[in-house]
Amino acid sequence: MDAVILCAGRGKRLLPLTENRPKPMLPVGGKPILEHIIEKVEELVDNIFLVVKYRKGTVIDHFRDHPKVKFVEQGALEGTGYALLSAKDYLEDEFLVINGDIIFEDNLRGLLPYENAIGLVEVENPEDFGVVILDDEGNVVEIEEKPRNPKSNLINGGVYKFQSDILDILENLEPSERGEIELTDAIKKLIQERRIKGVKLKGYWNDIGRPWDLLDSNRYVLKSIKRDIRGEIGRNVVIEGNVVVEEGAVIRHNTVIEGPALIKAGAVVGPLAYIRPYTVLMEDTFVGNSCEIKNSIVMGNTRIPHLSYVGDSIIGENCNLGCNTITANLRFDDKPVKVNIKGKVVESVRKLGVIMGDNVKTGVQVSFMPGVKVGSNSWIGANLLVDRDVESNTFVYKIEEKRVKRL
């Protein structure tokens, strides 16, 4: 049996984090989402076909040496069904299909005894997903996409097992209203014939569609790490709890690290830095004198040299935060932070800091209000309070109606 992982899309709801990488390559617990999925299935299957398209080079470069991974390029971004059809020439008999943007705990063995099966997840907000209805024998009898009044709290978990005839069904489908070949439309054909089972997935599951989902999954992964200190540790360093300091990392004098936390190879921390729980510092990052980082993901080669606070935030690659850069993460009224997602303002979570793309620079004394997004390749001038989103390739030098100058 083989596996197909659908990882061709961009992930627009996660911009600016996906400007330079596909969503499945965003880091969770120190490695890409896609790597977590591959580790789940590599013992179950003979081959793993990654369906790629957007920024495909980042996927290929990362996994090219994996003995079971093969790459299939999706011709056009025309739906999940079209993505699966891209791998048709390589598939035989039966196979797993997995969305490339989920973090899950289940080992998927519960799907294997059935010819066709969907992994199901029980959630509190089924109206935000594809709701699945089962009969008394566990057959799927209905899938309803984002219903106003859901009939069940079981949703489609984005994990499937199929027989090869699903490919024939897909080839004969008409495009949906969105002009796409939808995998769920093919599944509805199986439902009509009572040929697909629903299998409840055990444990944690998260569909990473928004920045705060990434932080949630990061916390989940870090809860399972074990203490492992291999880097260089300076004088008077305090390390509490389950902390991983990889070989090649340097923790300078008088730094405090509270686990769970992960410090990747090449990172330099301190002196006098404070790393709080659920923080990941990726390769070659620098967090310097009197900086505090909490519940955040700081991507590779980013520098936070001195006197800064980063909380509940995601910082892209190759950024440089000037002295006393501060990320606010909590509203005065203690209500959920509001974030602009694809032009619509939505409520997120109680605490959320800044979501920053790659190659961003801030001057001294810059403060970000909760939930602000900063596009890649932008510069934020000194002494500014940034209270609204900043587009990519922008130099912000004054916050007013005419506050920006295009680079």
Going along the chain from its start, the domains and CATH numbers come out as 2-209 (3.90.550.10), 220-406 (2.160.10.10)
Q: Are 78 and 179 in contact (CB under 8 A)?
A: yes
Write the CB contacts of 344 (distance below 8 Å, at least 6 apart in sequence): none
Catalytic residue selected from 36, 66, 253, 306: 306
Encode pLDDT of 75-101 as tens digits.
876 788 989 999 999 999 999 999 999
What is residue 400's predicted lDDT score, i.e. its pLDDT? 60
Instruction: Give the residue ranges of the chain where pLDDT is below 50.
Output: none
Q: What confidence score (pLDDT) does residue 356 get?
A: 98
- CA–CA gap between residue 189 and residue 169 (Å, rounded): 8
Confidence at residue 75, expressed as pLDDT on a 0 to 100 scale? 83
66 is annotated as an active-site residue: no
Please give the Cα distance from 56 to 383 (Å, whole number): 39
pLDDT of residue 407: 59
